[in-house]
Structure 1
Amino acid sequence: MKWSILVFIVSTLWFSTTSLADPPRLAAALTLQEMETLLSSPVVAEDEFGFSVALQGDTAVVGAFADTVDGVETAGSVHVFTRNTATGRFEHRARLVAPDPGNGDRFGHSVAVHGDTIAVGAPFHDARGLDAGAVYLFEKPAAGWGASAPAAVELFPADAAALDNFGWAVDLDGDVLVASSLTDDYDGRFAGSAYVFERPVAGWSNAVAETAKLTPSSPGLLDQFGVSVAMGDDIIAVGSARHDHNGANDSGAVYIFARVGSHWISATESQKLAPGDIRGGDGFGTSLALDNADRLIIGSPGHDGIADDAGAAYIYERVTAGLFSLLTAKLIAPDAAVGDAFGNAVGIGGDRVVVTAPSADIDGVQSGRLYVFDRTLGAWVRPIQAQPFFPRFATQLQSYGRSLAVDGDAMLVGSRGSNVIGAGSLGSVSHLQFGIHVNAIEGRLDIVDLEATDPDGTTVGYSLVEIGDNDHDLVEVDATSGLLRFLRRPDYENAQGELGRHDFAVFVRLEDVGGEHSVYKVTVRLGNVAEEGTSPPASTFRVADVVVPYGVFADSGHQFGASVAVSDDLFVIGMPNYNGGQGAVFVWQYQGDGKAFVPRALLTSPDNQGGQFGWSVDVADRLLVVGAPRDSAGGFHAGAAYVFPIAVDEDWSDGLASFTRLENPDPDDSDLFGWSIATNGSTVVLGSRLDDAVETNAGAVYLFERNLSLAGGWTLRARLTASDAGADDTFGDSLAMDGDIVVVGSPGRDGLTGSNAGAAYLFERPALGWRDATEVIRLDPVNPLGAGFGDSVAIHGDSVVVSMPREYLDTSRTAATSAIDGAHVFEKPVRGWRALAGAVAYLGDARRSAKDVAIGESLILVAYPDRVLAYQKPAAGWSAHDGSAVKNFSLGPAKLDDYDPRVAISGKLVLIGNPDADGSLGNAWMLEGISIEQLLPALLLLFD
């Protein structure tokens, strides 16, 4: 038995802010970790703490608009937190209130922070008329927040009037403030407006007037122009969630305003944004986030995508000055449900997007969820550990994600109502950070090489920091290399750290030569892992990655995961229905030893023929083969396939541009050449399941070998057919290859009852090489009254597994006969395959149709619509197997029989595709041999 040390490095607890230089950071893939929960001080129930949040650097700002101030109800307050560099936690420093609080003002309804300035909206303040609104500015005192009460600057627009709700949304960027008046009645329709204020040289004061008023060119009644605002450099975006775009009620729109010259001037928009699939009630523009004025994310929480009001978010990029002319992604939640309101709050930073769904249910409670997306290969995808994020107090929260602020690797997530300390309905804010995790092996003192980088290009030094309760006395860090290691071997059986059994915590400080520093919390967890080697026991797999397509690839019906293949360190996932059936293929690479899976290539049909490119895939020995069975270049749906060589040191920068196209030598309409694929790296086998070469729709298989003397590099060597071929046999429906053995499925072959009983055929390479041939032996089901035998085949070494996808048709079936409905296992006899007498084992679950099979060194996987069964090879071989699964990942009876999951295995790596999930959008799961405890919950979600 070996143990792993799971190391969670919680991304920077704080950065120094003594200069404009950037502090050093860890160079690693990041995962989301919950750091702490912020509460108001004093704690007050029903104050709506967390309704609004803002974050920049070491300053966090939280609005509590329903707080009572000096006896004035719902006057509102704002709480300021700063990060304590001695403890790494945010500490409450100040409670800001309006100098003239009024009943129902809702001071803190909106907040923003930039540098030393905080802006607070009070949209129901009455100084300029009933609910006219106001915005307050606070600047940090010289001694810091909380040292003394900062003076407030109170701003109003020149045309302030009753019911304007000025201050509904605010944003700060340097010396510029934008604030909206949600129901400004300048046009008689209460459409709303926004105002821009610029800080004079003399500083902010009550006398500062707006420099510009921003309005839409086509205002409508109660459009809510100004429900959200975002500003960056020379761009201001304003959301109008109830605008009736193209006559669709409350569909929404976003307006873009560009600065002219060095100052803002009153104007209508430069651009109006609304996606092509916008519908009534979408609320497009409810939330906004802008990154460096070049990338804009827009929330549409009422969008009816997968479910009514499930929500969506859209990402636009600016190509030309002032214009967001490129819609690069539409994001949806993979587990979307009715009323989730995904997109209610959004955040963006570089190549990471965060979206909340505050109305999503957890155990029947409308608690809310948070989703993270990364930009990879031009598309936005949900990264490794970014499943829907649930905080520790998930079932005790209400509307988790009502508010959101993102700054670098940190974020604040507000919950309007919670009960995290058992004191009634309190608001709270989660402080989240991104971190990394790695693995180590028992017996090694080394834990992890921290590998920090400094944006300023200077040398980074490492040291331990003693903060609170931690285990710094158990470890050391190399001051130069950053290698973190144990001082002595831990007691793996009885390890007890400050965080509990098998859990340790230390803090590491990174500092560059200029004095800029950051501190990371490192959590070291000791856990059980399997021995090294191929095909670990089926009970020791864990989920290493989950992949869901996003961006232009995210749409129902695309069937991501319809084909899967894995070999060595490469994972291949097909999406044949992308773009109306053109198809796409994704390639990921495993970094090994518990490290990340890295997306490497995203391929579409190289010559734009389409034809469901990606319907079938296989990979072996750095060779990727992709089928496009409905390619029509050689005839309607005649089919084709593509071969992509992958260099060992592939830099992936060209997206695997080098390829060879393979076609049926005698193409005909509806041959479906490329329906199935198998390769061993030097030979490619392609199924043409409706080929008429022998009989109508009997099917055939074509074998190509690498030939470096040819320009294309591949030569057709053989056509394989069944000796007893008949019409509609669909020979070539499935394929498998290992070394010199090819197995072909023919699920349409008629059995004794003429009912598509099916068969599989085994071919072996002759001593003189491949040539046109019929089978060495036919593999038959033990019960010829079954149906579809051969729908899926797999081979590893001397073992072959063949699926029986449709249930036994005889109503007199018994428990004894029902077990054969899943998969048959065949083993090569001592005298060779020709001496095979029949199957040696039967693996199955009679309740559902087996959809796919995969086999490794000592493991067989059988996929059903509602489960994946894992079978372990006995020491005496498959013939000694009793038919029982090592693990039955049962998901209950209420699942669809037409779900069609795919499985692949190579060594300790497993890939599962579920193309029918999420309205046939599809997803895929990457597993590695580590821990059953992590596999089970993942598979429970797999087909939900």
Structure 2
Amino acid sequence: MPPCPPVNERFGRTSRRMLVAWSCCILAAALPPAAGQCEIMKLVPADGGPNFCFGLSVAVDGYDVAVGSPRTSQRGMAYIFEREGGAWNQAARFMGDGLYGLNDQFGQSVAISGNAMLVGAWSENTGGAVYAFRRHNALWAREARFSAAETASGDRFGYSVALRGDVAVVGAPFRNAAYVFRWDGQAWSEQARLVATGGLNTDDFGQAVALDGETIVVGAPQHDAAGFNVGSAFVFERQRNGSWQQVAMLTPAPAWPSSRFGAAVALHAGAVAVGAPVGGSVFPAGATFVYERSGRGGWTQVAALSDPNAPGSSQIGASVALDGGILLVGASQYREGAGPATGAAYVFERRPGGWQGLARLTAHDGEDGDWFGAAVGLHGRLGLVGAWRDNPNGSRSGSAYLFAAGPDADGNGLMDACGCLGDLSGDWVVDSEDLALLIAAFGLGLEGGPDLNADGVVDQHDLGIMLMRLGSVCP
């Protein structure tokens, strides 16, 4: 079986590099590691195995979690986890047709919205495809398989997907296009083809896509408008006649060559986040840029976020997720010391004075080479971080981690969700469900989760804390 994709494959075509120096930049304040209880649960598939790459893509909506595993059974799989009775359980798994040979990369991208889910398979039939699944009466079933009308060999249709309600956006970065589809209750039909004004066929336009309401953002991490391979992100808005029109091209300030700005994009409530993970002299660890709407078609850069204490080449901005005033940013190459990349994820909050860093998240069992943060998802106060090179079921079998993530309303420097000691189920209330989870883990040697006093074992001391906290409601 071929190994999971290397980092330059994850980022598209081979990058071309130059060096440039900048004298000014905007940095986030040094970020503290999040408290251990921020981690809710580690997810692994029931059938995990070596080189499955579980966690290469993730998405979350409400209490539904989708995780891609593009090398499972060589064709790929996607999984759904649902929260039931305070616990997270694997509810479904999906596989593509597999009619066109192996290595379809089914699960390279996932998106979930309500009762619908999309899974991209960018190598299927050489040009790529997207599968749609829908939940009826608590059961998930395949709904459709579709491609663009013009899909041809090598397009990588399905490399990225976004879904909101009945509208989907699919990226095809080697065609340098993104496509809008709509579900009419019977079928998914192609509505529009999006291309960048003045774009080239080497821009990787479509490597990342995001959708919110009447707005779409498409990343083009090798676009040269701001300099050699700096990258751009393009904003499209739906017009009154139903067409989609490009209204803005976003570039970073400061900019540096080969930053791959646009490798990851997120969009929500009038804000856009764009990752520039390949560091340079300005931001050695990489950065994420935030833009806010300033009138119809207008967007203004309001922040450039990084970590001044992160090692160089941490790839801050490898993945981004945005919901309300909370931003989750993956840094898959973050490392402690001189070892290979363990990975990290950063939580930022929008405040009246601007965007501020809240926490740096790491896995309780993180190891060198996990690439924790290669994919992130966020909805409400629930964060999801993929670590596709983790080894719970063999080399690069992969995992995903659920975290509590949210604002710091009381200003004590700790995310409010993390301050709710004892909330093991992630429903923001300390109740009988949490007590049952602690009892189930009683006597085990654990870090985080039910080990409420962080002494490495779940014992009577943790039970005492839980009993005192019963009935507490999180902020």
Instruction: With the length of structure 2 as denominator, give the TM-score of the two structures.
Output: 0.79
- Measured after TM superposition, the shift of residue 465 of structure 1 is 4.5
- The secondary structure found in structure 1 opposite 2:307 is coil
Aligned residue among 389, 413, 428 for 2:399? 428
Within the candidate set 61, 64, 76, 1:59 is matched to 64
Classify the secondary structure of the residue corresponding to 1:502: helix
Q: Report 1:549-628 matches (<5 A).
A: none
| Cα contact 1:240–1:286 (8 A) shared by 2 | yes
Question: What is the match of residue 383 of structure 2?
Answer: 411
Q: Which residue of 2 aligns with 1:115?
A: 114
Instruction: Tell me what 1:34 maps to.
Output: 39
Which residue is equivalent to 2:50?
45
Q: 1:91 aligns with which of 89, 92, 100?
A: 89
Distance 1:433 1:262 in 2: 41
1:241 and 2:200 correspond: no
Deviations, residues 766-801 of structure 1 (Å, cap 9, x unaligned) = xxxxxxxxxxxxxxxxxxxxxxxxxxxxxxxxxxxx
- Contact 2:254-2:282 within 8 A present in 1 as well: no
| In 2: Cα distance, 1:211 partner to 1:156 partner | 12
Residues 838-895 of structure 1 show CA distances to partners (whole Å, capped at 9, x for unaligned) of: xxxxxxxxxxxxxxxxxxxxxxxxxxxxxxxxxxxxxxxxxxxxxxxxxxxxxxxxxx
* CA separation of 1:469 and 1:375: change in aligned 2, threshold 3 A: closer
- Kindly indicate whether the alpha-carbon contact (under 8 Å) linking 1:239 and 1:254 is maintained by their aligned counterparts in 2: yes
Matched, 1:356 2:356: no
SS at match of 1:211: strand
- Answering whether residue 173 of structure 2 is matched by residue 182 of structure 1, we say yes
Structure 1 portions without partners, runs of 5+: 1-29, 185-191, 439-447, 451-459, 473-495, 511-518, 523-595, 597-944
2:77 is the alignment partner of 1:77: yes
Deviation at 1:298, TM superposition (A): 0.6
Q: Confirm or deny: 8 A CA contact 1:307 1:337 kept in the other structure.
A: no
Question: In structure 2, do the counterparts of structure 1 residues 298 and 497 end up closer, same or farther at CA, with 3 Å as the change threshold?
Answer: closer
Change (3 A) 1:498 1:144: farther
Aligned to 1:500: 459
Residue 361 of structure 1 aligns to a residue in which SS? coil
Map 1:136-285 onto structure 2 (within 5 A).
136-145=131-140, 150-184=141-175, 192-200=176-184, 202-204=185-187, 208-246=188-226, 248-261=227-240, 263-265=242-244, 267=245, 269-285=246-262
2:319 is equivalent to residue 345 of structure 1:
yes
CA contact (8 A) 1:305 1:311 kept: no
Name the CA distance, whole Å, in 1 between partners of 2:357 and 2:191: 41
Return closer, same or farther for 1:437/1:449 CA change in 2, 3 Å cut-off: farther
Deviation at 1:420, TM superposition (A): 3.8
Q: What residue is the counterpart of 2:276 in the other structure?
A: 300
* Secondary structure at the counterpart of residue 37 of structure 1: strand
Q: Which amino acid aligns with 1:354?
A: L
- The answer to whether the 8 Å contact 1:235/1:322 transfers is no
Structure 1 counterpart of 2:183, one-letter code:
R
**Structure-2 separation of matches of 1:449 and 1:420:** 27
**1:285-324 alignment to 2 at 5 Å?**
285-292=262-269, 294-305=270-281, 308=284, 310-324=285-299
What amino acid maps onto 1:44 in structure 2? G
Give matches, 1:619-768, under 5 Å: none
Rounded Cα–Cα distance in structure 2 between residues aligned with 1:61 and 1:348 = 17
Write the deviation string for residues 394-446 of structure 1: whole angstroms up to 9, x where unpaired.
2255211000001111111001111246x3332000111148999xxxxxxxx
Q: Give the Cα separation in 2 of the matches to 1:132 and 1:183.
A: 10
| SS at 2:367 equivalent | helix
Q: 1:678-703 deviations in whole A, cap 9, x for unaligned?
A: xxxxxxxxxxxxxxxxxxxxxxxxxx
Contact persistence 2:279–2:312 (CA under 8 A): no
The answer to whether the 8 A contact 1:241-1:250 is kept is: yes
Instruction: Quote the offset at 1:141 in angstroms.
Output: 2.9
Q: Conserved in 2, the CA contact under 8 Å of 1:197 and 1:212?
A: yes
The CA deviation string for residues 246-277 of structure 1, in whole angstroms up to 9 with x for no partner, is 4x221100000000126344x5x211111232
2:436 maps to 468
Shift of 1:312: 0.7
CA contact (8 A) 1:347 1:353 kept: yes
- Secondary structure of 2:202's aligned partner: coil
Contact 2:328 2:383 in 1 (8 A): no
What amino acid sits opposite 1:468 in the alignment? Answer: A
Q: For 1:587-632, what per-residue CA distance to the aligned partner results, in whole angstroms no more than 9, with x for missing partners? A: xxxxxxxxx9xxxxxxxxxxxxxxxxxxxxxxxxxxxxxxxxxxxx
| 8 Å Cα contact 1:65-1:108 kept in structure 2 | yes
Distance 1:320 1:60, change over 3 A: same
Deviations 1:210-237 (A, max 9, x none): 1110000111231100010000011000
State the 1:323 CA deviation: 2.4
What secondary structure does 2:190 align onto?
A: coil
Secondary structure at the residue paired with 2:200? coil
CA offsets 1:432-472 (integer angstroms, 9 cap, x no match): 1148999xxxxxxxxx999xxxxxxxxx9996447525479
Q: Is the alpha carbon distance of 1:463 and 1:253 closer, same or farther for their aligned partners in structure 2, counting shifts above 3 Å? A: closer
Cα distance in 2 for residues equivalent to 1:437 and 1:274? 32
Contact 2:283 / 2:306 at 8 angstroms: preserved in 1? Answer: no
Counterpart AA for 1:328: V
Structure 1 residues 469, 212: CA separation in 2 closer, same or farther (over 3 Å shift)? Answer: closer
How far off is 1:362 after superposition?
2.0
Secondary structure of 1:48's counterpart equals: coil
Match of 1:468, SS? helix
| Counterpart-to-counterpart distance in 1, 2:251 and 2:352 | 25
CA distance in structure 1 between the aligned counterparts of 2:369 and 2:273, rounded to whole angstroms: 26
User: What letter corresponds to residue 350 of structure 2 in structure 1?
Assistant: R
In structure 1, how many angstroms separate the alpha carbons of the residues matched to 2:134 and 2:263?
29
Distance 1:466 1:372, change over 3 A: closer
Counterparts in 2 of 1:212 and 1:203: CA distance versus 1, 3 Å: same
- RCO higher in structure (CA 8 A, sep ≥6): 2
Deviations 1:111-153 (A, max 9, x none): 0000000001111111xxxx211011001132424xxxx1340
Q: 1:471 to 1:180 in 2, by over 3 A?
A: closer
Deviations 1:630-670 (A, max 9, x none): xxxxxxxxxxxxxxxxxxxxxxxxxxxxxxxxxxxxxxxxx
Q: How far does the alpha carbon of each residue in 1:729-772 deviate from its partner, in whole angstroms, 9 at most, with x for none?
A: xxxxxxxxxxxxxxxxxxxxxxxxxxxxxxxxxxxxxxxxxxxx
Count of matched residue pairs:
409
TM-score normalised by the chain length of structure 1: 0.41
Distance verdict in 2 for CA 1:59–1:306, change over 3 Å: same
Alignment of 1:386-405 (within 5 A): 386=359, 388-405=360-377
C-alpha separation in 1, matches of 2:157 and 2:456: 53
- Residue 336 of structure 1 is matched in structure 2 by 310
Distance in 1 between the 2:433 and 2:384 partners?
25
Identify the residue that residue 20 of structure 2 maps to in structure 1: none
| Change in 2 beyond 3 A, CA 1:501/1:140 | same
The letter for the 2-side match of 1:163 is G
Indicate conservation of the 8 Å contact 1:157/1:209, yes or no: no
Displacement of 1:353: 1.5
Provide the rounded CA distance (Å) in 1 between the counterparts of 2:193 and 2:208: 15
What is the letter of the counterpart of residue 97 of structure 1?
A: M
CA distance in 2, matches of 1:360, 1:280: 21
Equivalent residues in 2 for 1:411-560 (5 A)?
A: 411-420=383-392, 423-434=394-405, 464-465=432-433, 467-468=435-436, 470=438, 499-500=458-459, 502-504=461-463, 506=466
Larger radius of gyration: 1
| 1:222 aligned counterpart, secondary structure | coil
